[in-house]
Amino acid sequence: MEQRELEQLQAGDKVPNFKLLASNGQQVELADYAGKKVVLYFYPRDMTPGCTAESCDFRDFSGEFGLHNTEVLGVSPDDLASHEQFVNAHELPFLLLSDTEHTVSELFGVWKLRSRDGESFMGIERSTFLIDESGTLVKEWRSVNVDGHVKEVLEAVKGGRSE
């Protein structure tokens, strides 16, 4: 039986605390960011063109996110060694979380059946989520197109609205 779309987190839901290993080698949990907004962006794979462009856009605007009491966290199924290489290669100033078991990706409903070149596989659907200071999901962007996306997320952070 198919998993129902309603089981994934949606805007207005309280986000359960989760723990993942981060690119700095430490375990990070959502509760570490209480009192701050969190931009949680899910991307398919380190060092690929689209994921690199998106991560570098978040890097380039990281100062502006910081001015608005907002932490950016990237999530992919890559392991810590891959994340370390990706962070170093592109001077990413934020943590990348390693979701090798797909638990957080499944919680947010972004671990999906995908296809490329006629082949089907399970993977991350590029998506971004804005979590407010109290841990509530206030905005979601699913099936993201990289061009202009980070600016759109920043505008939502600045506006502080869930619309």
Computed over its alpha carbons, how large is the radius of gyration of the chain?
Answer: 15
Range(s) of the domain holding residue 152: 11-158
Q: Quick: pLDDT tens for 105-146.
A: 999 999 999 888 899 989 999 999 999 999 999 999 999 999
pLDDT at 4 over 80: no
Q: Quick: pLDDT tens for 6-55.
A: 468 889 999 999 999 999 999 999 999 999 999 999 999 999 999 999 99
Question: Which residues are designated catalytic?
Answer: 51
pLDDT at position 6, please?
45
3-state secondary structure of 47: coil
Is residue 141 classed exposed, middle or buried when 0-12, 13-18 and 19+ CB atoms within 10 A define those classes?
A: middle
Answer yes or no: is 68 within a domain: yes
Answer yes or no: is 3 within a domain: no
Q: How many domains does the chain have?
A: 1
- For residue 113, what is the domain's CATH number? 3.40.30.10
Answer yes or no: is 2 within a domain: no
Main-chain phi, psi angles of 66, to 5 degrees: -60, -35
